[in-house]
């Protein structure tokens, strides 16, 4: 776990560095105010996730055939090249091309999830997926804060630094990362398994997973509403600079570390995976409403602390899903779920940012800067209701139930 933890950590630091300054870079290319820039920033996110959607099953299936390590290393090289392309981007089209390459390489999170499933005992998978979340959290403590500071010198400098971090990660993985996928568990690669829509029949083999996937889709859309609008919303509402946006994202990362790296190990055994999922959704939905209503900058920090408690839901969901599939299909199923999440990243940012542009433009009949957060809250409410339906339809077997589970 230590090896993959460090690999994911370095990858997320690189991603986090560029988040606070990318909207400003888009604005520089297109001119105009934040409302105008948001119309072009949404497609920049969507192109990244579209390529992730198309390529995640391929990378997952390739890792089932050739092992996790070589696929992870190739992805890190692609990530570094994408950052360099962005750093040298002369226009919006060049930026979009770089985002597409980054999306191909970014599908490696599929392989990282499969790696964790490989090395984890079934009863510890949820906790170990929590460590993956902690790596995300630490990365988002360091990355956005560093990116915001670097952005004071140049909007392009953070991308050079991210490229360097990815190359360092490649060297570390080449030297230190052991292969996790045993030869006896490998299976032949076929293009049918690389079909980005192959997750539909694959997930249908597991009725409970298919039902939970619907909620994952809705939550993914809600997360895109939050993530794609955070810098835009705080810049418009509170006049935050990239550095201030970076600090707020760093706080979110710190809270995620505390929850997924520590609190979840205390809470999950007591609540059980199902109850943790439901409680997490309630906290997330309520937080989205409060984000949208925030009228002072400090409120965003306060709600972030509360919202971070909802992070118990992610590892609980991954643990519940991974225990229902065999070792020979971990990569394929994790790839299918990554594809599903990526699908939300194609639609979510475009819709959310268009809503932001519409309800913040000078010509808007009514100004609602938090409109994307309110949409996210609605989607989470639907995800909660669907999870209740799935859990009622697939109750915990009497022999497997735990006192704290529902």
H helices of 239-370, in order, are 242-258, 264-271, 273-293, 297-308, 313-322, 330-360
| pLDDT value of residue 277 | 93
Between 313 and 181, the higher pLDDT residue: 313
pLDDT at residue 404 tops 60 = no
29-40 pLDDT per residue, tens: 887 678 888 889
Could you tell me the domains of the chain?
Answer: 2-177+198-393 (1.20.1250.20)
93-132 pLDDT per residue, tens: 999 999 999 888 876 677 777 888 887 877 777 677 777 7
| pLDDT value of residue 68 | 85
| pLDDT value of residue 108 | 67
222 SS3 class = helix
User: In Å, what is the CA distance from 369 to each residue of 294, 362, 374?
Assistant: 10, 12, 10
Percent of the chain whose predicted confidence (pLDDT) is above 90: 33
| pLDDT value of residue 107 | 63
Q: Which residues of 9-40 are buried (b: 16+ CB within 10 A; e: fewer)?
A: bbbbbbbbbbbbbbbbbbbebeeeebbebbbb
User: In Å, what is the CA distance from 316 to each residue of 241, 264, 313, 320, 325?
Assistant: 35, 9, 5, 6, 15
| pLDDT value of residue 35 | 84
H helices of 21-150, in order, are 22-30, 34-66, 68-87, 92-106, 109-119, 125-150
| pLDDT value of residue 129 | 76
| pLDDT value of residue 193 | 64
Residue among 250, 173, 175 nearest 6 (CA): 173
| pLDDT value of residue 10 | 79
| pLDDT value of residue 398 | 42
User: In Å, what is the CA distance from 74 to each residue of 10, 112, 136, 251, 401?
Assistant: 15, 13, 20, 31, 42
Tell me the Cα Rg of the chain. Answer: 20
Mean local confidence (pLDDT), 258-278: 86
Look at the block and give the residue holding tokens 């964790």.
116
- The overall average pLDDT reported for the chain is 85
209-238 pLDDT per residue, tens: 888 888 999 999 999 999 999 999 999 999
| pLDDT value of residue 51 | 87
Residue among 156, 138, 69 nearest 108 (CA): 69
| pLDDT value of residue 332 | 72
User: In Å, what is the CA distance from 88 to each residue of 22, 81, 94, 155, 163?
Assistant: 13, 11, 9, 11, 12
Look at the block and give the residue holding tokens 């040298």.
88
Q: Which residues, 6+ apart, have CB-to-CB distance to 95 below 8 Å?
A: 25, 26, 29, 44, 86, 89
| pLDDT value of residue 291 | 98
Task: Calculate the CA dihedral of residues 90, 355, 294, 225 and round it to 10 degrees.
Answer: -70
pLDDT at residue 402 tops 50 = no
292-330 pLDDT per residue, tens: 999 999 999 999 999 999 988 888 888 888 777 777 777
Where residue 359 falls among pLDDT bands split at 50, 70, 90?
very high
Exposure on the CB side of residue 67, measured as CA atoms within 13 A: 11
| pLDDT value of residue 400 | 41
Residue among 1, 2, 8, 176 nearest 76 (CA): 8
């Amino acid at each position: 776990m230590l090896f993959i933890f460090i690999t994911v950590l370095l990858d997320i630091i690189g991603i986090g560095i560029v988040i606070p300054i990318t909207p400003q870079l888009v604005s520089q290319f297109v001119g105009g105010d934040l409302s105008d820039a948001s119309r072009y920033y949404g497609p920049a996110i969507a192109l990244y996730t579209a390529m992730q959607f198309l390529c995640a099953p391929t990378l997952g299936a390739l890792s089932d055939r050739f092992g996790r390590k070589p696929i992870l290393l190739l992805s890190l090289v692609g990530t570094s090249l994408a950052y360099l392309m962005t750093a040298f981007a002369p226009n919006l089209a060049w930026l979009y091309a770089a985002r597409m390459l980054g999306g191909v390489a970014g599908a490696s999170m599929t392989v990282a999830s499969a790696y964790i499933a490989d090395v984890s005992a079934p009863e510890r998978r949820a906790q170990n997926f929590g460590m993956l979340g902690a790596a995300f959290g630490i990365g988002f403590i360091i990355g956005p804060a560093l990116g915001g500071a670097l952005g004071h010198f140049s909007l392009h400098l953070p991308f050079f630094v991210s490229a360097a971090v990815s190359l360092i990660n490649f060297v570390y993985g080449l030297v230190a990362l052991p292969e996790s996928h045993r030869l006896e568990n490998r299976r032949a690669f076929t293009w049918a398994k690389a079909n980005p829509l192959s997750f539909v029949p694959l997930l249908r083999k597991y009725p409970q997973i298919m039902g939970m996937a619907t909620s994952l889709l809705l939550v993914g859309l809600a997360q895109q509403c939050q993530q794609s609008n955070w810098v835009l919303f705080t810049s418009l509402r509170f006049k935050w600079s990239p550095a201030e946006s970076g600090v707020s994202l760093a706080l979110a990362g710190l809270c995620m570390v505390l929850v997924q790296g520590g609190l979840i190990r205390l809470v999950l055994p007591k609540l059980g995976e199902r109850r943790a999922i439901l409680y997490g959704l309630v906290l997330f939905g309520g937080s989205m409403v409060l984000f949208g209503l925030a009228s002072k900058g400090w409120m965003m920090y306060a709600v972030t602390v509360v919202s971070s408690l909802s992070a118990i839901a992610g590892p609980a969901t991954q643990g519940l899903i991974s225990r229902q599939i065999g070792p020979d299909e971990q990569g394929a199923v994790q790839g299918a779920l990554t594809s599903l999440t990526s699908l939300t990243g194609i639609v979510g940012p475009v819709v959310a940012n268009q809503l932001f542009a519409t309800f913040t433009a000078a010509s808007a009949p009514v100004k609602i800067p938090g409109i994307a957060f309110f949409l996210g809250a609605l989607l989470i409410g639907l995800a909660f209701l669907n999870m209740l339906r799935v859990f009622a339809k697939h109750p915990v077997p009497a022999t497997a139930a735990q006192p704290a589970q529902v």
